[in-house]
């Protein structure tokens, strides 16, 4: 049953973003169904205010207050569809917690998303930046998403191909504001080989015979690796990787490599992807902190709000890091989280 859409006013958002920076929404509404979502969007149109769609708040930086309507997607649901042989489709409401969904699927013996354990955020936010870790990306298993198309005001089904997935990129980033994801559909398998080749994972698994590993064993290994290197946003406010790994041309890579023989690069179909963490580490920012914000001391890609930092503090630090990397290596770093305000 749809509840009435009656936005709250002047709502504090610091608990709803994992960087824990202060920001106030002029209007705030939680929606639990696609119908409520449509109503909230209509309310915003009628009142002539902008809309910000919020999932787990783990991939954005509030640079001040938000003057429009913040719509928090709380659409639940977790069920299996089209169970055929060793394959099945997992259907997740956009408001489901991503990590809980990974545990649910892997405990049921299904493979495909075990490497994506412990990524913060919601299922509906996962396709936006095409979450990825340890050699797996969401687009490897996603068959389709259901979304509200704000142009036609109807629910549409977008296939994997429609979503234009790339490294940390998708249609939802390319056409910001057009689609609001309500549900995602993942094709998982009980038999598909798992991706165990990413260096950290391979090292962690050591001599364990791969044929004996269940998906939950791999999810647990990923969780242990992440806990060792990445701060838990529940304890230390952060937004995961703050920069994308930049892709440079092969010629640029060869030039960089001659000056910096240890530079970390992964060949792509076109160009070479550099490890942004390595670049930031080299220019000395890893472990930096001032009284409010800093850079994690075990993963240079992660910016941290140590104590009462604001979005502006975080963005100023990000700019200083980008400038140092640009100056030393001539490489532009692109921010991963979206900036609001």
Asked if 133 is part of the footprint of ligand EPU (rule: CB under 6 A), the reply reads yes
Q: Left, alpha or beta for 127 (phi > 0: left; psi -120 to 50: alpha)? A: alpha
The Cβ-side half-sphere exposure at 209, using a 13 Å CA radius, reads 2
Distance CA(54)–CA(32), nearest Å, equals 13
Q: Binding of ligand EPU at residue 106 (CB under 6 A)?
A: no
> How are strands ordered across the β-sheet holding 24-31?
8-12, 24-31, 66-73, 51-54
Is 241 a binding residue for ligand EPU by CB under 6 A? The answer is: yes
Select from 27, 110, 134, 172 the one that contacts ligand EPU (CB under 6 A).
Answer: 134
> Is residue 245 a contact residue for ligand EPU (CB under 6 A)?
yes
Known catalytic residue at 298: no
Rule CB under 6 A: is residue 223 a binding residue for ligand EPU?
A: no
**258: exposed, middle or buried (Cβ count in 10 Å: 0-12, 13-18, 19+):** exposed
Active site residue 168: yes
The single residue of 168, 170, 183, 226 carrying the catalytic annotation is 168
157 is catalytic: no
Binding part of the chain for ligand EPU, among 35-43, 147-155, 299-307, 321-329 by CB under 6 A, reads 299-307
In Å, how far are 248, 261, 276, 325 from 329, measured between CA atoms?
Answer: 11, 13, 11, 6
* Interface pick for ligand EPU out of 18, 170, 299, 310 (rule CB under 6 A): 299
Q: What does residue 292 show for φ and ψ, rounded to 5 degrees? A: -120, -45
One character per residue 16-35, x = contact with ligand EPU (rule: CB under 6 A) = --------------------
Q: Which stretch binds ligand EPU (CB under 6 A): 70-78, 96-104, 137-145, 273-281?
A: 273-281
Instruction: Give the residue among 147, 136, 135, 231 at the shortest CA–CA distance from 185.
Output: 147
Kindly state the number of chain residues that form the binding site for ligand EPU, as judged by CB under 6 A: 19
Token digits for 301? 């890609």
Question: Does the protein bind ligand EPU through residue 244 (CB under 6 A)?
Answer: yes
Query: Which of 58, 144, 170, 241 is labelled catalytic?
Result: 241
Residues marked as catalytic: 168, 241, 336
Contact residues for ligand EPU (CB under 6 A)? 133-134, 198, 200, 230, 240-241, 244-245, 264, 275, 277-278, 281, 286, 299-301, 336
């Amino acid at each position: 049953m749809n509840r009435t859409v009656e936005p709250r006013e002047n709502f504090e958002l610091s608990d709803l973003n994992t960087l824990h920076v202060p920001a106030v929404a002029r209007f705030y509404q939680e929606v639990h169904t696609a119908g409520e979502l449509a109503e909230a969007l209509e309310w915003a149109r009628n009142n002539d205010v902008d809309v910000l769609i919020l999932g787990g708040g783990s991939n954005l930086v509030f640079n001040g207050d938000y003057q429009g309507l913040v719509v928090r997607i709380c659409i639940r649901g977790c069920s299996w569809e089209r169970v055929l042989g060793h394959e099945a489709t997992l259907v997740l409401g956009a408001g489901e917690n991503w990590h809980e969904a990974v545990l649910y699927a892997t405990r049921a013996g299904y493979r495909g998303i075990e490497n994506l354990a412990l990524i913060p955020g919601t299922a509906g936010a996962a396709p936006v930046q095409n979450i990825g870790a340890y050699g797996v990306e969401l687009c490897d298993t996603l068959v389709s998403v259901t979304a509200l198309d704000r142009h036609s005001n109807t629910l549409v089904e977008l296939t994997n191909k429609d979503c234009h997935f790339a490294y940390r990129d998708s249609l939802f980033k390319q056409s910001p504001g057009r689609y609001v994801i309500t549900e995602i559909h993942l094709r998982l398998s009980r038999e598909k080989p798992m991706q165990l080749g990413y260096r950290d994972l391979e090292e962690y698994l050591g001599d364990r015979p791969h044929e004996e590993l269940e998906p939950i064993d791999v999810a647990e290994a990923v969780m242990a690796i992440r806990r060792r290197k990445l701060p838990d946003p529940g304890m230390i406010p952060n937004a995961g990787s703050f920069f994308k790994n930049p892709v440079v041309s092969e010629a640029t890579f060869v030039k960089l490599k001659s000056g910096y023989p240890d530079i970390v690069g992964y060949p792509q179909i076109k160009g070479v992807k550099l490890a942004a963490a390595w670049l930031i580490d080299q220019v000395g920012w890893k472990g930096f902190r001032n009284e409010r914000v800093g850079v994690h001391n075990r993963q240079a890609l992660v910016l941290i709000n140590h104590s009462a930092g604001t979005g502006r503090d975080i963005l100023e630090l990000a700019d200083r890091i980008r400038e140092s990397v640009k100056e030393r290596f001539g490489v532009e770093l692109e921010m991963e989280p979206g900036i609001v305000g």
